[in-house]
Amino acid sequence: MVTKATWTRGFRNGLQTTWELAKVIIPLTVLIAIFKEVGWLDLLAIRMEPLMALLGLPGEAALAIVVGYCINIYSAIAVILAIDLTAKQITIIAVMIAICHGIFVESAITRKTGVKAWPLALMRIGVSLLAGLGLNWLY
Amino acid sequence: MSGLLGLKDIIIIVLPLMVLIEVAKDSGIMARITGRFHPVADLLDVSKEAVLPLVVGLTIGFSYGSGIIISSAKDGSLSLKDRYAVAVFLSICHSVFEDTLILAAIGASLFWLLSSRFVLAIVTTLLTTRMLGRGRPAMLETDISPS
């Protein structure tokens, strides 16, 4: 039954999620701004350019993908917001990150279900890259 | 600065979304939506016991779905094939409401987010379970660690 408690619980969850997002997005935005200023982002972008070109993405997008794979979707969002991207490019990164994120934390959960975690993690990365390639071609 | 602007867009989505999820849960709408996902289990050719963790993980979240596998795998009601099927599917496609809407809030296409994840999860799961049926599943058997 929907009571007053339902609404307050929802509101509280909403604020909590926003707070979790803010905790990640604000410091990462500052960090990326520093990386940009120092020139590290350009350095990474140049290195990753050929690989990212296959996915239809600029070199800087590599940072969003790696951060998403290793940490979580929220951190990847912080990077996406910090770089200039088209709607198509945002969609490609978003799909790749949605398929594969938080590898370390989620592999630990997977292991508890009695399934080998590393082949699953590799498979996820593979499917994510394939999705990126496919979407660049299809979209 | 762009980070803060993006955050504002996310709040506009996240706050109503979380309220909506709670209302859907308490009004019984969530149970009805969840029921709609049962054909997914048929498509994946898993046993009846695997349906609940699959549906819960798909809609609510990976750790909730996995939690159900952990407790039911311990009493032996889920086969190795079922556990792999659910784990593979959920690792690629879980928390469809939350993940999808948050990414859509920053400008990603809702259609591609939902469809590509869902289709790829189904294909990968079917490939995995076919391989398990043929290969040496013992190789992939691991101990279920006490939580």
pLDDT, tens digit, 9 for 90 and up, residues A8-63? 998 998 888 788 778 877 888 888 889 888 988 889 889 999 999 999 999 999 99
Nearest to B106 among A26, A80, A110 (CB): A80
Asked if residue A66 lies in contact with residue B88, where contact means CB atoms within 8 angstroms, the answer is no
Q: Do A25 and B16 touch (CB under 8 A)?
A: no
Nearest to A81 among B2, B62, B73 (CB): B2
* Residue B83 exposed, middle or buried by CB count within 10 Å (0-12, 13-18, 19+): buried
Q: What is the predicted pLDDT for the residue at A82? A: 87
Give the N- to C-terminal CA distance of chain B in Å, as an integer: 42
CB-based burial, A69-82: b 16+ in 10 Å, e otherwise:
bebbbbbbbbbbbb
Which residue reads 């779905």 in tokens? B65
Strand-pairing partners, residue B121, are none
* Residue A39 exposed, middle or buried by CB count within 10 Å (0-12, 13-18, 19+): exposed
Give the C-alpha separation, B37 to B40, whole Å: 6
Search chain A and give the residue with CA nearest B15.
A14
Domain containing residue A77 = 4-138
ipTM above 0.90, yes or no: no
pLDDT band at B6 (very low <50, low <70, confident <90, very high): low
Nearest to A78 among B3, B14, B20 (CB): B3
Query: Which residue type, as a one-letter code, is found at position B135?
Result: G
Q: What is the pLDDT of residues A59-111, one digit of tens each?
A: 999 999 999 999 889 889 989 988 899 999 999 999 999 999 999 888 888 88
Best of B54, B69, B92 to substitute, by most chain A Cβ atoms within 10 angstroms, is: B92
Count of domains observed in chain A: 1
Residue B46: partners with Cβ closer than 8 Å, 6 or more residues away: B54, B81, B82, B85, B86, B129
Query: Which residue type, as a one-letter code, is found at position B87?
Result: A
Size of interface A-B (CB pairs under 8 A): 171
Q: What is the pLDDT of residues B10-21, one digit of tens each?
A: 778 778 877 887
